[in-house]
Homo-oligomer: A and B are copies of this chain.
């Protein structure tokens, strides 16, 4: 598929499909499949709105390559003290903001809202984290991949240690 020749409507549908696949892969806890959504030199960050606006290089989670994402998956699987729980991510308001030019040629900017809810074994499901995805997508091997995904959360107070990706 030649993504750059798709109509705006078709392109949004492809981005929605990508976001749906991404969210459901994590919802199904198929974490090992998660790094493949990213390019090798991808940037991934979970950060607060305040830190994002100040452009501070800190965040609850910060990875600067696909390898670091893979390390993160290993860490998730090896974490023993973290009790069982499930996180479910819902996506809304997917928007594409056009292909970049100049240095950003081949890069598609896109955004969406997410809502993550958490369920612990003997508790009611509750809102865990809400925020905005700010993404840069590129075409690699004929598919859209994340060159950058920044999860900017509204929720400053995180109910538990955030260990699973958003």
Q: How far apart are the CA atoms of A155 and B9 in the complex, in Å?
A: 34
Q: Are B157 and A92 in contact (CB under 8 A)?
A: no
Interface residues of A in 30-69 (CB under 8 A from B): 49
Instruction: Kindly report how many copies of this chain are found in the complex they form together.
Output: 3
Number of A interface residues at 8 Å Cβ cutoff, please give it.
44
Q: How far apart are the CA atoms of A10 and B14 in the complex, in Å?
A: 11
**What residues on B are CB-neighbors of A154 within 8 Å?**
86, 88, 117, 119, 125
Q: Are A23 and B113 in contact (CB under 8 A)?
A: yes
Distance of A110 from chain B, by nearest CB (Å): 11
Q: How far apart are the CA atoms of A117 and B88 in the complex, in Å?
A: 14
Q: Are A23 and B86 in contact (CB under 8 A)?
A: no
Q: How far apart are the CA atoms of A127 and B86 in the complex, in Å?
A: 14
Q: Are A20 and B95 in contact (CB under 8 A)?
A: yes
3 closest A-B pairs by beta carbon, nearest first, are A90-B92, A119-B154, A20-B93
